[in-house]
Structure 1
Amino acid sequence: MRRLPVLSLALALALALVAPAAQAELWAYVDNAGVAHFAAQRLDDRYQPVMSVGARPQRVPGKTDHGRSLLTWLEFAPEVKAVLPYLREASQQTGVDLELLKAMIAVESGFKADVVSPRGATGLMQITAIAAEQYATPAEARQPVEQRLRTPRSNVLLGARMLADLIKRYGRIDAALAAWNAGETAVRKAGGRMPPIDETQAHVQMVLELYWALLQRSQSQQLQGMQFHSAPVSQQ
């Protein structure tokens, strides 16, 4: 019998607990002991959105599936290891979790530094020329935009600054990722939340699922437990 990845099993159990709420949300964090904590709402700053509950998971056409083979590849691939120093540097500078940056690059470009999308987004984190101008440091701004976008270190640093700015602006990782994918106008029209765009919802879910799988793996090779928390009852 094929075993589910530990975190996927934990997510499945948590989803079952909140399934009666048709469009509920699932928030979670993994503590230092390797225990996954789930809640139907954000109880404190440790919790981050994992996924919306009530719709079947979707996949983005043309994107790489994030099963066990991808997790293994991310751990051993030379092109991933070559970028890790830049991910650590970007994480330290911006506060964006290294595993989130890794998940984004895996979904956005598959760690191919020369990829250009039909919309002109370039490089590891698929950044546009406009974003490259907006988030460049004075030293970076003296370089040609194309060079900035195609140089792995510059691309990662630019992308991390942009993502940190979006997370700060919207206060939610899922909304920040949606703004990255669909544009800030779409997120603003949705009230600062996930817009009703199928491709964007599938894209964000892919990044978040891979992020949590990477986070769990980095903190513990085996999930030590799972806790589902309810919001405290207010005293009248």
Structure 2
Amino acid sequence: MAHFATERTDDRYELFYKGDESFDTTQGVKAASGTPYPVSAPTAPAKLLAFFDISPSYKLVKHHLREASNKLSIDYELLQALIVAESGFNSTAVSPKGAVGLMQIMPATAERYGLVGDPKNSIEQKLTDPKTNIRIGARYLSDLINMFPGQLDLAVASYNAGEGAVQKAGNRIPNFKETQAYVKTVLQLYNGLKPPAAIAEQRRQPTRVRMELSGGAAGRGNMPSSSAPPVLVGLP
């Protein structure tokens, strides 16, 4: 749970935005300089997690991310990181090259995955629909991961530059400054969002908390006897 205040209430608080910065949760934030590739979100791990806590554009689509993650066995945090880098969770974003939506999909790529236009809506218009965009983008990313098993950096590079460019470079990240910065940024965001294996495993295990009742209720007849067992509460 993220907490915000206008001053540092205690040592757990750190600066999120200064007075000369602006933040519109419907539009994201100004391009950040903490990564090689500029993105429209804060990039320090604590600030990035807080961004997801308060961003309505993320909350509107996170169930689509979860569905794609489960169906295609892609880490949820990887999808988060890629969309932060691609669009900052702006579903109507269009790049100068014509990539559309949350995962910045080129219409030609969408056609490869069966998306067609109709008299009411063009392919470009259909790609602004979050469910459609995430479905196609996640399938493309899944295919790239399978194409370069165990080499996530090459899959991410292919998402940015195309798998042909990676293959032409000898199955290495192409010597494109944008692609190299993009790969570093997506993996940095991914590592910041993904909990360590030990923490992830701990989250999957049920937790039991010991509670002992004490204090002002003594002598009022509503305290458990000293021989009563401790109260255990199961947390999901």
Give me the TM-score of the superposition, normalised by structure 2: 0.63
The alignment's C-alpha RMSD in Å is: 2.7
Cα 1:135–1:218, aligned 2, differ >3 Å: closer, same or farther? farther
- Cα deviation, residue 141, structure 1: 3.6
For residues 92 and 216 of structure 1, the distance between their equivalents in structure 2, rounded to whole angstroms, comes to 17
- Cα deviation, residue 65, structure 1: 4.7
- Partner AA of 1:99 in structure 2: E
For residues 125 and 97 of structure 2, the distance between their equivalents in structure 1, rounded to whole angstroms, comes to 18
Counterparts of residues 89-168 of structure 1 (less than 5 Å): 89-136=67-114, 140-141=115-116, 144-168=122-146
Q: What are structure 2's unaligned runs of at least 5 residues?
A: 1-10, 13-33, 203-236
Counterparts of residues 1-236 of structure 1 (less than 5 Å): 59-61=36-38, 64-67=41-44, 68-136=46-114, 140-141=115-116, 144-171=122-149, 172-216=151-195, 220=199
Whichever of the two has the greater Rg, that structure is 2
Matched residue SS, 1:192? coil
For residues 127-147 of structure 1, what are the alpha-carbon distances to aligned partners after superposition, in whole Å with 9 as ceiling and x for unaligned? Answer: 0001111123xxx54653123
- Larger deviation: 76-85 or 158-167? 76-85
- Cα deviation, residue 204, structure 1: 0.8
Identity %: 43
- Aligned residue number for residue 36 of structure 1: none
For residues 96-140 of structure 1, what are the alpha-carbon distances to aligned partners after superposition, in whole Å with 9 as ceiling and x for unaligned? Answer: 11110011101110000010000000000000001111123xxx5
Q: What are structure 1's unaligned runs of at least 5 residues?
A: 4-56, 224-236
- Larger deviation: 212-221 or 145-154? 212-221
Cα 1:89–1:62, aligned 2, differ >3 Å: closer, same or farther? closer
Give me the TM-score of the superposition, normalised by structure 1: 0.63
Cα 1:195–1:69, aligned 2, differ >3 Å: closer, same or farther? same
- Cα deviation, residue 64, structure 1: 4.3
Matched residue SS, 2:127? helix
- Partner AA of 1:66 in structure 2: T
For residues 71-95 of structure 1, what are the alpha-carbon distances to aligned partners after superposition, in whole Å with 9 as ceiling and x for unaligned? Answer: 2102331211111110011112211
- Larger deviation: 76-85 or 126-135? 76-85
Cα 1:218–1:127, aligned 2, differ >3 Å: closer, same or farther? farther
For residues 190 and 65 of structure 1, the distance between their equivalents in structure 2, rounded to whole angstroms, comes to 32
- Partner AA of 2:78 in structure 1: L
Is residue 101–residue 128 contact of structure 2 (8 Å, CA) maintained in 1?
A: yes
- Partner AA of 1:210 in structure 2: L
- Cα deviation, residue 217, structure 1: 7.4
Q: How many residues align?
A: 166
For residues 77 and 61 of structure 1, the distance between their equivalents in structure 2, rounded to whole angstroms, comes to 18
For residues 41 and 58 of structure 2, the distance between their equivalents in structure 1, rounded to whole angstroms, comes to 15
